[in-house]
Every structure is written in C-alpha cells, then in structure tokens.
Amino acid sequence: MKIVDVVCAPGRTGFFFDDQKAIKAGAVSDGAAYFGDTMTPGFKSIRQAGESISVMLVLEDGQVAWGDCAAVQYSGAGGRDPLFLAEDFIPVIDKYIKPALVGKEADNFRELTKMMEAIEVDGKRLHTAIRYGVSQAILDAVAKSSKRLMSEVVADEYGTTVSETPIPIFTQSGDNRYENADKMILKGAAILPHALINNVETKLGRDGSKLKEYVCWLRDRILKLRTDESYCPIFHIDVYGTIGQAFGDENYKAMADYLAELEEAAKPFHLRIEGPMDAGEREKQMLCLKGLREEVDRRGINVELVADEWCNTLEDVIYFCDNKAGHMAQIKTPDLGGINNTIEAVLYCKDHGFGAYQGGTCNETDRSCQVCVDCAMATKPDQILAKPGMGVDEGYMIVYNEMNRVLALRKAKKC
C-alpha cells in the first residue's frame, strides 16, 4: 500500500525543555519556572514548553499512520542535537522527508527507516527528533497496510517473538519523591522511584546520608503500604553523577563502600543506581563505569550500575556494552534517532548479556510512548520507562494501558 501524502502538525510534549547548563550553573527556581540567563544555544528562557511534531502518513486507502517527533528534556546538552522547535523543523520534514516517502510502498519497516536515516542536509543527518517521529509513523504505516500490530511487524522483521507477559514498568517521581512513591506503591509499579537525586548538598548528602535515609524510608513505606507480600519492586535511583561528586569519580573503593551501605539499606529489595558518576566525556565515563563495576562485582555487592550520561546513541550503547561499563544501559529512545536504532540497541544488549533499559524522556508524547511499548513487546527489554511527564500518573497510565492492549489483541487473535 502506497504512502500518498505526508502531513505535519505542531504539538506539545508531556514536560519541558530545560537549559541544563544554566540550571547546573545555579539558575534560581521559582515555582515551575527558572530565572537567570540562558546558556545553551536556542533557548529563550531556561525552561520552555516542550514541543513536538506529529508526522502523519496518509495511505492510499485513506488510513493515516502517525508518529511524534520529540526531543529530550535537556536538548542541546552533552553533545545532543539542538533545541527542537516545531516552526524550525516542519519545513525540514516537508522539504526532505515528504518527497522521499510519497509514492513508496509501506511494506518494509527496516528498509524505509534505513532510507530515512541516510538522508543528509549539508552533510549532517536529520535531527534525532525528526528521525524518531518519522520512524514511528513508518512502523504504524507498515502495520496498518499489512493488518498487523506494530509489535508484530517488529517481531517479524527482526526475528523475535512478541512477549506474552508485560514488560516491567519503571516509574519516575520527579522532586516529589515521597508522595509519588506512595502512588507508585499503590499502583503496583514494578520498578521505582527514579527520585531525581541531582544535587549533592540537598539530596545525596556530602557523605551520602540523605539518599541513604530516603532509601530506608522507601523500604519501610513499601513494607507498610503493600497489601501483598509478593509485591517486591526493584529500587532504581538516578543520582546524576552525584556519588562521583561526593566520593570521587575514580575512587571506586569509596563509591563501592557507599553502594554496599545502600544495598543493605534497601533490603529486602534489589537496588539499581543510574549514573553514579559523570566524568565529563564519553571515554572517561566508560572507563569509570567499567572500573566501578569491576570493584562492585569483585566484592559481591548486589547493586546494578546503569549507564546514562555519555551513553546516548546506538554506537554509544554498543561501546558501553562491549566494555562492560556498568551492568545495564538506559537506551534513551529520542537520542537514538529512528526507533529502529532503539530496537537494535535492545537486541544487542540482550545478545551480549548486558541489561537493556528502554528509557527515554519525560518530554515525550502519548504517541511516541505507545510506539515504544510496541517495540518493547517485540524485543523484551528488562524494563521500560513510564513516560511522558514527570511523575507517575500520566506516563504509567499510557505505557501500562498500551501494553495491555497489545496483550489482549494478541490473545484474541489466538482464540
């Protein structure tokens, strides 16, 4: 079935674009806003409304397939593509994507995304957000034209099978880490709470005591609120490099000592720590995570380390995986460009014994998250992020409901 038109519409995301450089430099927060001078090119204010572009592929039978272009909260930071604004990039899609897709048969997801990924403008690939959204629309178009679920298209083309059980969902609290933890527990989230530990003084503690106190509170809160003793969620806490700030990025012994304390505090629950350090560039980050993993493993400390900072692209994920830099990678879906790269990253990690966390950003849309769920159901990562939004409500609902729709439709087909 041919694609006969490509139509774009501007949209909003589930969170904001934040100028990370300005925030790290001390921008003052006031309510939901920040005040101070911007430091990342393209930003007019430190916090701006998140923007997206819906890319709609009109098929010759009148069906419309669609996906949403979206970029991460901290756009333009850490080597990422620049701030993604709809008015800047709709003309790019109309000029370069539309003529490439109109008239093409929507019959092969991998081939169409390969063609899209190869498009260059002035010697550069298209913005990651464009490739992310267009690839979603292509997957939907192939699914609609062949009367399959998106998860079935992925499974068929990559030689996998669609999961018959839910993928564990990881929920994020934002700064409201106490009340939102209660919501996560009451809703039965499998992995929690993220916790946003992004400041040494106020959230980690110079000696790590503030985070340790929070872990103890979270442990006790689950034991108090759970109604079934079989509910045993994994603790996954993103520390944004603050453990390295407090103890030294290469002081593996001191960091491991602290992780052993957190492991004990979390019992009987298993603990994952994301981004224990931020070494400032990819090679050093890889070496630091590799060194800390070796120390943790040698001492039998049962804490998993999750790669985040400087592990952004498909190539980065492969590099960290091959070097055993941590135990798991966050595969940040918008940063990888086409959703095909997310699929390949998950499968590579699984094939090489490395944890695969299909993540992303709070700054996505309902549609991008639904497509991510279908990809996860076909590739079976260890966990998937509840998104969009900073908190447990909307993101958990969108991911949980889409996953169960896939399971129900698959079951109905077999009956």
Q: Could you give the residue numbers annotated as active site?
A: 332
Cβ atoms 338, 116 nearer than 8 A: yes
Cα dihedral angle (17, 13, 345, 328), rounded to 10 degrees? 60
How far lies 331's CA from each of 249, 360, 400, 401, in Å?
22, 7, 19, 22
How far lies 58's CA from each of 9, 144, 234, in Å?
13, 11, 42
Got the DSSP string for 265-288? HHTTS-EEEE-S---SSHHHHHHH
What token pair was written down for 73? Answer: 């909260």
217-226, Cβ contacts within 8 angstroms, sequence gap of 24 or more: 217/178, 218/181, 218/192, 218/193, 218/266, 219/265, 219/266, 219/267, 219/269, 221/181, 221/182, 221/185, 222/185, 222/269, 225/182, 225/185, 225/186, 226/185
Amino acid code (one letter) for 244: G
**Which helix (DSSP H) or strand (DSSP E) does residue 361 occupy?**
none
Distance of CA 272 to the CA centre of its chain: 16
Q: Rounded to an integer, what distance in angstroms lies between the CA atom of residue 134 and that of residue 7? A: 11
**Which helix (DSSP H) or strand (DSSP E) does residue 90 occupy?**
helix 86-92
Q: Rounded to an integer, what distance in angstroms lies between the CA atom of residue 115 and that of residue 380? A: 26
Structure-token match 């990690």, residue found:
349
Cβ atoms 296, 323 nearer than 8 A: no
